[in-house]
Amino acid sequence: MNEYLLLVLFFLIALFYSSIGFGGGSSYLAILSLVLIDFYQIRTLALLLNIMVVSIGTFLFIRRGVFDWKVFWPFIILSVPLAFVGARLELSESTFFIVLGAALILAAISMILQIRNRKIKSRNLSRTESTLLGGIIGFLSGLVGIGGGIFLSPTLNLIGWKNATVIAALASVFILVNSLAGISGLLISGTFQLEPGFAIKIIATVIVGGLVGSNLSMKMNLNWIRSLTAILVLYVGTRIVLLHGFGIHI
């Protein structure tokens, strides 16, 4: 793939996902799998890109006063250690991508249901429910090498937990801490692999995209972006499952 086209794609993904509080890890994985051979390098770089993008979003949410530790900590307390555990598990490449693809398809379906069913009766979660939900998604995020916000945010929106801004802030923080835990797991397990020359260009590109997208998030009606994100996630998940599960290229 042409290097300039690759950088444009990563810029657009970072812009697109950061505007709704995500890091873009799922799409980074999909594109990196087309241009890199080393499975562990793909996983490592996707987590690093997640960290760069959501660090910007997390800072802006804190500065705007949206972040509330008392509300957010139950989701995080179990997700971090389980993301670390998930990242230490060494899956075969085919198993890794099939699990990732299936999880993305479920996330996309949840996002589509959320968009179609806008009038939702709000529902609070107990601390136990929040902790268990965060732990399950944290383990999955560590296992597949993404931050987990793409699973958490649609779930919380679907049940009407809080308003969209609070959920986006939680997703951003959730992705950040789980991605950091995932990187720690890779380092300790000896599967952290990175080619600096290639990585620096991609990291710089997503930082710029994340800055633009995070600032756009407060200025736009994001329903159409959520719809396009759901379609993109569904396509990426389906493509991954068909390619790595059945050898079908789409």
Name the most confidently modeled range: 4-8, 203-207, 230-234. Answer: 203-207
Q: What is the pLDDT of residues 71-111, one digit of tens each?
A: 899 999 999 999 999 988 878 878 888 888 888 888 788 77
- List the structure tokens of 198: 């290639």
Question: What average pLDDT is seen over the chain?
Answer: 85
Name the domain count of the chain. 1
Q: What is the pLDDT of residues 28-48, one digit of tens each?
A: 887 887 788 787 898 899 999
Q: Does 247 have pLDDT greater than 70? A: yes
Least confident piece of the model among 7-16, 120-129, 205-214: 120-129
pTM of the model: 0.86
Q: Does 173 have pLDDT greater than 60? A: yes
Name the most confidently modeled range: 119-123, 149-153, 170-174, 233-237. Answer: 170-174
Neighbours of 184 (CB within 10 A): 17
State what percent of residues in the chain have pLDDT above 90: 33
Going by pLDDT thresholds of 50, 70 and 90, the confidence category of residue 220 is: low
State what percent of residues in the chain have pLDDT above 70: 93
Mention every residue, 6+ apart, whose C-beta is less than 8 A from residue 234.
104, 105, 108, 109, 112
Q: Does 25 have pLDDT greater than 60? A: yes
- List the structure tokens of 58: 């997390």
What phi, psi does 118 have (nearest 5°)?
A: -75, -30
Mention every residue, 6+ apart, whose C-beta is less than 8 A from residue 141.
79, 83, 86, 147, 148, 151, 175, 178, 179, 182
For 25, the domain range is: 3-246
Q: Does 120 have pLDDT greater than 80? A: no
DSSP string, 84-125: HHHHHS---HHHHHHHHHHHHHHHHHHHHHHHH---------
